[in-house]
């Protein structure tokens, strides 16, 4: 067998394996992890005129990046131990398009990647030129070739390093990814799916808090599940007109239609909520928004004086409303509303006992969060301390 034939047949198996590894990694990375980031990028760039399809987008981008690799291979014909270099331009492009900045209110930006990506690709092309000249001196022994030969493992290792580079340098902002996933579910109408998004994470911001409240309201679970999630910004984070709250894909018009009315002139959140209630514009969802706004601000007095307008206190109430009423009755010697729930009263007694076991505020809050982190009581304690 000639030298060229030996090299051609010996390198073909791991070249195929490298291609499979690249295709699987790229598609899964784009489809399962960075899909919402790409959807947001397309939405912002098109100003909302186009919709990103996750399957189509991931498939097309994967094929384009693969074609780029094939072009590099056809140009330099790198086989042997340097074959993995032909994937570097594709990997750099993959990293760049998934490195959209987290501050995207003013538009989509790739930050330093506008400079770094061309520089890295240029370096890779120079390295491929050098490798092409050097591959004539590579050994042709049988144990260097094949699917599990030494050349194969060198290239597999090179690809893994490149995959690690993608994982290290792309946008992995947890709060941003959670925000985008919730927005996508809201746009798709799958409101209950938002309950699982970031459910066990303590990271949040005002925009995520606003989106969380909105999605829970759309699912009809706002007074039942709100304080099971990390929240910041108090009631100021409830409306998207807050300077610290920015929807990227959800329209504000639908948000305010959900509450009852949208005014072009921005209003302070409590002024807006009270205004639509006073003028008969509020929807049932807005009733819960008003009540939860009082709870978020720790204003129990306003809460108990308002809840009777929209709920029959003799009937079963949502979980957080019951918790707030029990808390209020334990804090007031002469409560405006007398409310008792035997099970919840016992739980609150345990809550107080647990709080007294720890002298340091940080330890106390950590213990309360571990046991009663899904209650309004823990939120109220953190707010007041």
Residues 180 and 255 in one domain: yes
Whether 104 is covered by a domain: the verdict is: yes
d(CA 378, CA 368): 6
Is-contact 243 237, C-beta < 8 A?
no
User: What is the model's pLDDT at position 303?
Assistant: 97
Same domain, 48 and 138: yes
Asked, for residue 331, whether it belongs to a domain, the answer is yes
CA-nearest of 85, 116, 97 to 30 is 97
> Does 303 map to a domain?
no
Mark whether 71 and 154 lie in a shared domain: yes
| End-of-domain residue from the set 135, 156, 171 | 171
Structure tokens at 191: 């409101």
Q: 119 and 263 share a domain?
A: no
- Measure the CA–CA gap between 80 and 152, rounded to whole angstroms: 8
Alpha carbons within 13 A on the beta-carbon side of 98:
31
Specify if 374 maps to a domain: yes
Structural contact between residues 107 and 115, judged by C-beta atoms closer than 8 angstroms: no
Residues 213 and 268 in one domain: yes
Q: In this structure, are residues 84 and 158 in contact, taking their beta carbons and an 8 Å threshold?
A: yes
Q: What is the pLDDT of residue 6?
A: 40
109 and 235 assigned to the same domain = no
Provide the domain count of the chain. 3
pLDDT value, residue 328: 96
275 and 362 belong to one structural domain: no
Supply the range of the domain harboring residue 66.
3-171
- Residue 304 is assigned to a structural domain of this protein: no
**Residue 276 and residue 381 in one domain:** no
Please, where are the H alpha helices in 29-134? Answer: 35-45, 54-76, 88-97, 113-134
Of 147, 171, 195, at which residue does a domain stop? 171
**Are 259 and 218 found together in one domain?**
yes
Give residue 106's pLDDT: 57
- 245 and 347: one domain? no
Domain-located, residue 199: yes
CA distances from 92 to 113, 139, 320 (A): 9, 30, 49
pLDDT (tens, 9 = 90+) of the chain, 385 residues, equals 444 444 444 457 888 999 999 999 999 999 999 998 898 888 877 777 887 888 999 999 999 999 999 999 999 988 878 899 999 999 999 999 998 876 665 556 667 888 899 999 999 999 999 988 877 665 555 444 566 667 788 899 999 999 999 999 998 888 888 988 998 889 888 998 988 888 888 889 998 999 999 999 999 999 999 999 999 989 999 998 777 788 878 878 899 999 999 887 777 889 999 999 999 999 999 999 999 999 999 999 999 999 999 999 999 999 999 999 999 999 998 999 999 899 999 999 999 999 999 888 889 999 999 999 999 999 999 998 8
- Distance, in Å, from the CA atom of 382 to the CA atom of 318, rounded to the nearest integer, reads 22
DSSP 32: I
The pLDDT score that the predictor gives to residue 350 is: 96
**What is the distance between the alpha carbons of residues 144 and 322, in angstroms, rounded to a whole number?**
71
State both tokens at 245: 């709250």
Which of 171, 188, 211, 168 lies closest to 38, judged by CA? Answer: 171
**Does residue 305 fall inside a structural domain?**
no
Residue 59 inside a domain? The answer is yes
Q: What is the largest CA-CA distance in the chain?
A: 99
Last residue of a domain, one of 298, 327, 344: 298
In this structure, are 188 and 239 located in the same domain? Answer: yes
Whether residue 188 sits in one domain with residue 164: no
């Amino acid at each position: 067998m000639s030298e060229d034939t030996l090299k051609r047949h010996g390198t073909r198996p791991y070249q195929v394996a490298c291609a499979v590894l690249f295709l699987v990694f790229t598609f899964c990375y784009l489809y399962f992890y960075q899909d919402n980031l790409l959807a947001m990028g397309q939405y912002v760039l098109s100003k909302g005129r186009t919709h990103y399809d996750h399957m189509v987008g991931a498939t097309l981008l994967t094929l384009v990046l693969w074609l780029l690799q094939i072009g590099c291979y056809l140009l330099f014909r790198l086989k042997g131990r340097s074959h993995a270099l032909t994937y570097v331009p594709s990997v750099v492009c993959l990293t760049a398009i998934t490195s959209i900045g987290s501050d995207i209110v003013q538009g989509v930006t790739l930050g330093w990647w506008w400079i770094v990506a061309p520089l890295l690709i240029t370096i890779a092309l120079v390295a491929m030129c050098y490798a092409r000249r050097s591959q004539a001196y590579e050994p042709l022994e049988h144990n260097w070739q094949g699917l599990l030969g030494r050349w194969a493992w060198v290239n597999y290792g090179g690809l893994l390093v490149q995959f690690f580079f993608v994982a290290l340098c792309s946008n992995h902002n947890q709060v941003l990814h959670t925000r985008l996933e919730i927005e996508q579910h809201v746009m798709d109408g799958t409101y209950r799916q938002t309950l699982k998004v970031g459910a066990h994470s303590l990271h949040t911001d005002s925009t995520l808090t606003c989106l969380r409240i909105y999605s829970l309201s759309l699912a009809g679970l706002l007074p039942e599940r709100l304080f099971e999630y990390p929240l910041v910004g108090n009631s100021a984070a409830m409306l998207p007109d807050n300077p610290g709250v920015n929807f990227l894909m959800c329209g504000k018009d639908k948000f305010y239609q959900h509450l009852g009315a949208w005014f072009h002139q921005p209003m302070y959140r409590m002024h807006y909520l009270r205004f639509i209630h006073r003028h008969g514009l509020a929807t049932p969802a807005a009733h819960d928004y008003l009540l939860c706004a009082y709870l978020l601000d720790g204003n129990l007095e306003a809460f108990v004086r308002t809840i009777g307008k929209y709920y029959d206190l003799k009937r079963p109430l949502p979980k957080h409303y019951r918790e707030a009423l029990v808390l209020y009755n334990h804090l007031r010697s002469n409560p405006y509303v007398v409310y008792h729930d035997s099970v919840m009263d016992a739980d609150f007694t345990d809550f107080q006992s647990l709080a007294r076991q720890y002298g340091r505020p940080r330890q106390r809050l950590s213990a309360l969060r571990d046991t009663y982190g899904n209650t309004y009581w823990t939120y109220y304690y953190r707010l007041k301390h």
